Amino acid sequence: MMVDLSQYPAQDAPPKAGVMINTFRAFGYDLRTAIADIIDNSISAGARNVWVDYNWEGPDYFIRIRDDGHGMSLPELIQAMTPGSRDPNEERDSKDLGRFGLGLKTASFSQCKQLTVITKRRDHGVIHRCWDLDHVNETGNWSLLDYNPDPVSAEALGEHGTIVLWRKLDRLIKSRLESDEAGRAAYFEELEQVHKHLSLVFHRYLERGELALFMGGNKLVPWDPFMKGKPGVQIPVEEALDEGRITVKGYTMPHITNIPAAERSDARTNEWPDLQGFYVYRNDRLLLYGDWLGTGNRSEPTKNARIMVNLPNSLDHEWQIDIKKSTARPPAHIKKHLKRLAMVTRNTSIKIHKFRGNKVLLQHNASSVTYDAIWKALEDRDGNFNYSINEDHPLIQHFMRQDGLKSKDLMYVLRQVAAAVPVEVIIQNHSESAARHELRKPYGELDKQTILLARSIYKELLEAGMSKDMAEKRLLNTQPFSEYPELTSYLDNL
């Protein structure tokens, strides 16, 4: 039953300026997502080049994002600076990267207390407007100032473009001391993370030459997370969903040992555990990555799996794209398909590691051994994994047949044993079934050889001038003797 609410008395209840504008600061942006949101506006404005500049000069530090887009008229500028200036339900151009009309303000206020926008359209003069949160809090008014704290910046606009200037960066820099080296290092480290983020988020634009991004004067190189065109990359799945509106393509990265050492830094192999999962693109702009969207968990064996998902902006509401454009929730009828495709891609990654594991460490089976591993993995009667030296290995057998073992030979054997520790297989087994995984086999009962060896070492410590009490403590703090406190009864008569 519809009720005509217009018949009831009502009062206007506008939000308080200071309270509301400070609420915009709590949307959960970090510096990377905030700058990316500003660049979205530049792309929507037709920019071909975007420059991100910054400095470290005590209280005068700033971050400035400049583009060569078409610029804005005064009404357009005021609208852009007005919170909630666009209806998120209105139909957008298919290439529009915005949605809520809040990105400029929320992204900026998350990092700074003073936001200035300077803009120029072709054949028009430079105009500007400024939000200063200290001023809004002081006056309690929605006071958008006709003020430019950095007139020199306007000279860089050329014929057309826009500058977004952040000052009073209270969220990014806590110290006001120019000489604070720790603060300075943290500041530039954060900007380096921005560099990496932007080269990934906008990599498609950069690859096609539709956009050039510069940070601190340096041109960013696109980073393709799928290593397209590189040897060893597999594509286990590729499908269209939702009547063709969504395309999905799974990629499996090659095993790290198949990537030349000189290329591993560029491939960011040290970050692969965090880079696995879905990569959701909206209009070629990467929204989120490194998330399995509820279809599974991160694990070591699945770190080579990445799945590309392409969406149009017409599905924003169905996928619950947030204001920051950094989270998405697929609808239930799509999620079931994503879970299926994720399983295939994840299994392909697991097989890569299992193949590698089988090559490094075969299950101990003398009748089928074609590759001799120094270590072996066995399952006990309870199904738990145990790891031990393969005594049948030709290297071990060679030295076991010797009447005496020279120190250099012993060191050689120890080095080979240490180098062959099956780290990958241990990690894989633990990731797949931690409950069945015994990281260290118990030493078992005290045997005669251990007693004789302990007595011999104990005697050597005494002969070196160590007291009986200290020699005993030293011995019982040494593996494997530390596992057998009853050894003390065998040392008393020495």
Kindly report, residue by residue over 438-476, the tens digit of the pLDDT. 555 556 678 888 888 888 888 888 888 888 888 888 888
Q: Does residue 81 sit in the same domain as residue 188? A: yes
Domain of 320 in residue numbering reads as: 238-359
Q: Do 84 and 102 form a contact (C-beta atoms < 8 A)?
A: yes
Residue 229 is assigned to a structural domain of this protein: no
CB-based burial, 124-152: b 16+ in 10 Å, e otherwise = eebbbbbbbbebbeeeeebeebeebbeee
Residue 365 is assigned to a structural domain of this protein: no
Q: Token match 């965090």: residue?
A: 274
Q: Does residue 147 sit in the same domain as residue 35? A: yes
Q: Does residue 452 sit in the same domain as residue 413? A: no
What would the mean pLDDT of 98-116 be, rounded to a whole number? 80
The tokens for 469 are 């009490």
Can you give 26-76 as a three-state secondary structure string? HCCCCHHHHHHHHHHHHHHCCCCEEEEEECCCHHHCEEEEEECCCCCCHHH
pLDDT at residue 356 greater than cutoff 80: no
Q: Does residue 62 sit in the same domain as residue 189? A: yes
The tokens for 119 are 């803009």
CA distance 29 to 39: 14
Residue 6 is assigned to a structural domain of this protein: no
pLDDT at 435: 61
Q: Does residue 169 sit in the same domain as residue 35? A: yes
Residue 8 is assigned to a structural domain of this protein: no
Among candidate residues 414, 436, 458, the one where a domain is terminated: 436
CA distance 308 to 57: 41
Q: Does residue 86 sit in the same domain as residue 192? A: yes
Among candidate residues 359, 393, 416, the one where a domain is terminated: 359
CA distance 134 to 308: 43
The string of pLDDT tens digits covering residues 190-235 is 999 999 999 999 999 999 999 999 999 999 999 999 999 999 999 9
Q: Does residue 49 sit in the same domain as residue 110? A: yes
Q: Does residue 33 sit in the same domain as residue 162? A: yes
Residue 313 is assigned to a structural domain of this protein: yes
The string of pLDDT tens digits covering residues 162-187 is 999 999 988 876 655 555 677 778 88
Residue 231 is assigned to a structural domain of this protein: no
Q: Does residue 425 sit in the same domain as residue 453? A: no
> How many domains, the chain?
4
What would the mean pLDDT of 130-139 be, rounded to a whole number? 93
Q: Does residue 250 sit in the same domain as residue 294? A: yes
Residue 3 is assigned to a structural domain of this protein: no
Cβ neighbours, 10 Å, residue 281: 18
Q: Does residue 89 sit in the same domain as residue 192? A: yes
Q: Does residue 196 sit in the same domain as residue 107? A: yes
